[in-house]
Structures are given as structure tokens and as C-alpha cells.
Amino acid sequence: SAGSGLLPALVPGEGDGELVPVSYAQRRLWLLAQLDGGSAAYNVPTVVRFGGGVDLDVLEAALNDVVERHAPLRTVFEAVDGEPFQRVLAPERARLTIERRRTETDGLDAGLAEEAGRPFDLASATPLRATAFELPDMSVVLALVLHHIATDGLSNGIFFADLERAYAARAAGGGSVLEPLAVRYADYAAWQRRVLGPAG
């Protein structure tokens, strides 16, 4: 309570439901995205080059393991009376497919720029997409683009560490090795609203 100086506990699973509140950080980014209509200013692109030997089917399975573990990567944002709410999709509804493009080397930079500059529709699409550019020398360049509403510097590091673990396990013929998280970001958002109130 306020009198004791103790904050209420963050309850796992509290964010479950059809529509749940967004955090204040998510609300700010959602509002900026509405104001900038169609802008890619909040895209966070990462490019990974594989010299060869990468199995894109395995990589796609590993990416979906990461998406299943991290609920913000399978979340859409819907407006109700002008206010944003988040809807966490079930993993099977948020399945990520790597788009594959055969590209000449001299067309790679333009392709990467196109992917980095393509905006997200946060109401209908999850905030992560992946495109693999397959080059004539058999190397593959993977363009991963996330919206900032679902990631930050710390989260990006966790994302790639989990992806590396998941890919190694899948490449060895195993299933997912990523344990479900006890507390999701939506749980934190619901807790934040309870502690600080709806106005922020």
C-alpha cells in the first residue's frame, strides 16, 4: 500500500485476455506512430550475413521459438475510443515466415533499404518481419526488422541470444529449448497501470 511504501506484486498471467492495457512506453510509441502515419522512423533493422550453410527452414523454426517465448513479438495494437490496447496472439496465429528473395549482389543494398524503410501496421501485423536475400555466391543476408514498440537495446541482445540457442537446438534435430517466461511484458503493463493509474 502507499502508506507502507510497498508496491503490489507483479502477478504472472495478469495480462491475459482479449485486450489488455499497454505500458506508458508503448502508449507513447503508439501515439508517435499514429502522428507519423506510415513512417519507418521507429523501425529497428538488423542485418546478419551468413557465409553459407544456413538452413532457412531451421532458422524460421528457431525464429518462431523466439516469437513464442517473447509475447511482444506476437502482439498487435488496437485502438478503443482513441486509446491503444494490446492483443497478444497465440503462437500459431503469429507464425513468422521468412520471405526469401534471390538477389544479385549489386541489388542487395537497395533491397535492405526497402525492408528497413517499410512501415508496420501495428493494428494488423506483429512487430517483427524477416527477409532472407539469397545471393549468387550461395551466401544469405538476413534482414530482421522490429518495431521499437516491441524492442530496445537490452531486448535486442536477449532476442539474438535466444535465437542463437534456438537455432543450435533445431539444427541438431531437437525441438525448442526456450523455456516459457514466467512474467510477460503485458503483465508488467497491467501492473504499471494498477500502480500508477491510467493517466500515467
User: What is the full DSSP assignment across the chain?
Assistant: -TTTTPPPPPPTTTT-SSSEEPPHHHHHHHHHHHHHSS--TTEEEEEEEE-S---HHHHHHHHHHHHHH-GGGGEEEEEETTEEEEEEPPGGGS----EEEE--GGGHHHHHHHHHTPPP-TTTS-SEEEEEEE-TTS-EEEEEEEEGGG--HHHHHHHHHHHHHHHHHHHTT----PPPPSS-HHHHHHHHHHHH-TT-
**How many alpha carbons fall within 13 Å on the CB side of residue 99?**
12
Q: At what angle do helices 153-171 and 56-69 cross, to 10 degrees?
A: 130
Domains of the chain, residue spans? 43-75+90-181
Domain spanning 43-75+90-181: CATH superfamily:
Chloramphenicol acetyltransferase-like domain (3.30.559.10)
Cβ atoms of residues 86 and 189 within 8 Å: yes
Tens digit of each residue's pLDDT (9 = 90 or more) over 18-35: 788 899 999 999 999 999
Give the model's pLDDT for residue 7.
Answer: 76
Give the mean pLDDT of 141-170: 94
**Residue 156 predicted with pLDDT over 80:** yes
Give the model's pLDDT for residue 16.
Answer: 58
Tens digit of each residue's pLDDT (9 = 90 or more) over 72-98: 999 999 999 999 999 999 999 999 999
Give the model's pLDDT for residue 1.
Answer: 39
Tens digit of each residue's pLDDT (9 = 90 or more) over 163-195: 999 999 999 999 999 998 888 888 888 888 788
**Residue 3 predicted with pLDDT over 60:** no
Cβ atoms of residues 65 and 176 within 8 Å: yes
**Residue 2 predicted with pLDDT over 50:** no
Tens digit of each residue's pLDDT (9 = 90 or more) over 98-147: 999 999 999 999 999 999 999 999 999 999 999 999 999 999 999 999 99
